[in-house]
Structure 1
Amino acid sequence: MKINKAQLNLSIDMLMFILMVPIAGIGFLIKYVLVPGFKRNAIYGRDVELYYWGMDRHQWGAIHLILSFILLFLLLLHIVFHWKQIVGIFKRMVPVKALRVILSVLLVIFTFVFGISPFFLTPEIKENVWNHEEHSEKGKAYSSEERQHKKRIEAQPVIDKPKEAVFNENTPPKRENHQHKHRAEIEIYGNMTINDVAQKYNVSAQELAKIIHVPDGHNNERLGRLRKSYPFQLNDLRDFIESEIKLKAISVPNNRK
């Protein structure tokens, strides 16, 4: 049985519609259900990982991307099979040739900027100055009086410490690095790996794996995926890193002696 051009076009159109539905649905799922880390803490009050059908938001994002590529391929086929019809309608809609050229050039530029250029771009890197506590505060609703009171407190000048509070020469100098991070500032997410955490906080990846009872060979897997097979919490890693930071902070003055 041969498929004529009309049947082929209809099949492509139906496939495009079938693909657009899950693409939109997965987008809504990632945006409103499988929310990112700081929103999860604000909604659920603790550090949890969210899954739907056994997959987290990053895995659903990968499926969303694959479906988008398939939809784009079908769209190109649709344009190719309807090219003569598209050109004829375009000429009737825009009878002036110069205007047609301008619109065509603008369409090509638009397609390149929003469709092709992302494959060649590099992101802007900025330091993240928010910690988990600040993220949780963003989820709270403040009244206008509370916001004004908070601004007045932040605008108050810094008062010099009394002489009694001045440190003597034996007081170890304050170190402005990650060794004095509070536990709330230890940022660990489900899309990170054990090696990522170890490199970020300068601790042993092998020790991190032992703490959460993960065998060797899984240091490059995402923590969210590992939690499906090994019962641990991200707070277990934060507790270990905090203890390591405290030990390093204590050892620094002892080494100076």
Structure 2
Amino acid sequence: MKKTDWQYLVDTLLFLCIVGIAFIGFLMGLFIPKGPTAPESAKYFLGLHRHQWGNIHFYLSITFTVLIIIHLILSWKWIKAKARQIFKGRWATALILTAIASFLVLFLFWSLYPKVPGAYEDYGIRAGERARRQQLSKEGYPIREEKYKETHGEEHEETLTRGRLAEDTSGILITGRMTLYDLEDKTGIPARKIADKLGVPSNAPLNETLGRLRKRYFFTMQEVKDVVTSLMKK
């Protein structure tokens, strides 16, 4: 293949990569919800979770970077000649400043982006939540104690739930990380039937974890155990 053929191929692949990167960027920024309050079922698009789209975005970015380097190598003679034509004897300085400017763009976005320590406080859970809180505490930022107690209280409740259920006649281990579909698999009781007993509305996603559902619809893990036990006796 001629050099121009390679340039055409690389430029075509660059175009495909940037289209994919832009598409996923708009998809994640405008359409797929994020954060702990959004239902997990809403974080899927075309069968892929938000994090999976993020992985594809990352791989495309790596590919794009490699192709950019190849593109610069293939076009280096033209770039150098054009820089000499425009900037004369200072062409080397101009190219160096252009390279530096690419990093300055990143710094510009970083400096302009608002830095609010508590903005993502609700994103962490368990170990991640504790690590985030410790970091903020080291930096001197105030920590909302009620959130900390709520998180640790949930862990404590889950631990107690495991202990109680180990002795329960149903013999089913129920934790906040399980979904109603998990209960259906373990007990044979339809997930919708359990949801109705717990007061979960018909439009609620049954593939949400019990930990999130109980916060949203105000039931306890003990009530889940009682409902499952009563339905298994029928």
Output the TM-score relative to the length of structure 1: 0.47
Q: Residue 233 of structure 1 corresponds to which residue in structure 2? A: 208
Residue matched to 1:14: 12
Distance 1:214 1:79, change over 3 A: same
Q: Deviations over 1:10-55 (max 9, x none)?
A: 11111111222222111121122213248x86xxxx7852311111
The one-letter code of the counterpart of 1:75 is I
* Conserved? CA contact 1:9–1:81, under 8 Å: yes
Residue of 106, 109, 116 corresponding to 2:100 = 109
Structure 1 alignment gaps of length 5 or more: 117-123, 132-175, 182-197, 216-229, 246-257
1:209 paired residue among 142, 162, 177? 177
AA partner of residue 10 (structure 1) = Y
Q: How many percent of aligned residue pairs carry the same amino acid? A: 21
Q: How far apart are 1:125 and its partner, in Å? A: 7.4
Of the three residues 146, 160, 183, the one matched with 1:177 is: 146
Separation in 2 of the partners of 1:178 and 1:20? 41
Aligned residue pairs, count? 156
| RMSD, aligned α-carbons | 4.1
Change (3 A) 1:178 1:37: closer
Q: What corresponds to 1:54 in structure 2? A: 47
* Cα contact 2:32–2:44 (8 A) shared by 1: yes
Determine if contact 2:10/2:67 at 8 Å carries over to the other structure: yes
2:120 and 2:4 map into 1 onto residues whose CA distance is 57
**Inter-CA distance 199–59: structure 2 relative to 1 (3 Å threshold):** farther
Q: Aligned match of 1:81 in 58, 74, 80?
A: 74
Q: Which residue is equivalent to 1:5?
A: 3
What secondary structure is seen at the aligned counterpart in 1 of 2:176?
Answer: helix
Name structure 2 gaps, 5 residues minimum. Answer: 108-114, 123-144, 163-174, 184-204, 222-234
Rate the CA distance shift 1:233–1:89 in 2: closer, same or farther, 3 A.
same
Deviation per CA, 1:88-108: give whole Å up to 9, x if none. Answer: 0110011142xx344333223
Q: Which residue of 2 aligns with 1:34?
A: 32
Check conservation: 1:16, 1:71, Cα contact below 8 A.
yes
Amino acid across the alignment from 1:84? K
CA contact (8 A) 2:179 2:208 kept: no
> Offset at 1:240?
4.8
Q: Partners of 2:31 and 2:102 in 1: how far apart? A: 31
1:68 has 2:61 as partner: yes
Q: Is the 8 A contact 1:211 1:240 kept in 2?
A: no
- Matched with 1:95 is 88
| C-alpha distance in structure 1 between counterparts of 2:148 and 2:55, whole Å | 36
Aligned counterparts of 1:81 and 1:73: Cα–Cα separation in 2: 13
Greater RCO, CA 8 A, separation 6+? 1
